[in-house]
Amino acid sequence: MYIETMQPVFIMMVIVVIGIFVFSTVFQRYHSAGEGTDIRNYNEYGEPVKSLYTSRYLFSFHKDIDVTDENDNVVYHSYSKLFSFTNETTITDREDRVVATIEKKLFSLHSIHYIDVVGGKSFELSKELFRILNMKFTIDELGWTLQGDFTNLNFVLYNNQERVIAVVGQKLLSMRDKYCIDLYDVNEEATVVAIVITLENMLMARRNASSSSSSHSHSNNT
């Protein structure tokens, strides 16, 4: 009787494992420092000029994120103000110079974030990116296009001439959110890093809001 009861559970576990494997095979383009470029990235876009890796601090009131190079050197760091209605985030380089700032628009239904990159680029991103089945999004101010799976941040970034700027891949099954950025246009490095960090923070906020909503709903039902 016990064995018969466990069979459906075992089958479900196998299905979940297979599902995760299929998902990682189809969508994930992450590779760790020191590993070769993802084979699909290489076949489709060639060898990137360089790769960067983001890693969120596990416990941080300031939402700290390190961006490292292939030798594990920190090249960018982002942190958010602890008490800020606009969720102000600053990105600095290895010399502690500010390279970009990010602020959330107050009283916005679409959770609009303004990004200012030192050097003149200013643009905005909104939660419209995360709509179900939305696989393409255009940053109007830049003329750039993001294409892929935004809910897990596995996407390709194209410029206004449809040339690849970067490919972003998330690491699955990690306690900390980790992403790989394969850069094909290093002139846009700071802008790409600002985009990825903004999307990371937006995605984390969505997860926290969803978790809080679920907890509140559960408490009301008990």
Q: 14 in a domain, yes or no?
A: no
Q: 21 in a domain, yes or no?
A: no
pLDDT by residue (tens digit) across 63-114?
Answer: 799 999 999 999 999 998 876 666 799 999 999 999 999 998 876 666 789 9
Q: 64 in a domain, yes or no?
A: yes
Sign for the pseudo-dihedral over CA of 39, 43, 45, 47: positive
pLDDT for 141 equals: 95
The values of phi and psi at residue 119, to 5°, are 120, -10
Does 207 score more than 90 pLDDT? Answer: no
Q: 216 in a domain, yes or no?
A: no
Does 193 score more than 90 pLDDT? Answer: yes
Number of structural domains in the chain: 1
CATH of the domain at 85: 2.40.160.200
pLDDT for 23 equals: 53
pLDDT for 130 equals: 67
CA distances from 162 to 37, 46, 50, 195 (A): 21, 15, 20, 18
Alpha-carbon gap, residue 118 to 59, rounded angstroms: 29
Does 212 score more than 80 pLDDT? Answer: no
| CA angle centred on 142, ends 137 and 143, rounded to 5° | 60
More confidently predicted of 61 and 56: 56
Q: 139 in a domain, yes or no?
A: yes
Q: 90 in a domain, yes or no?
A: yes
Q: 5 in a domain, yes or no?
A: no
Domain that holds residue 184: 26-211
Does 218 score more than 50 pLDDT? Answer: no
Q: 10 in a domain, yes or no?
A: no
Would you call 164 helix, strand, or coil by DSSP?
Answer: strand
Alpha-carbon gap, residue 16 to 6, rounded angstroms: 15
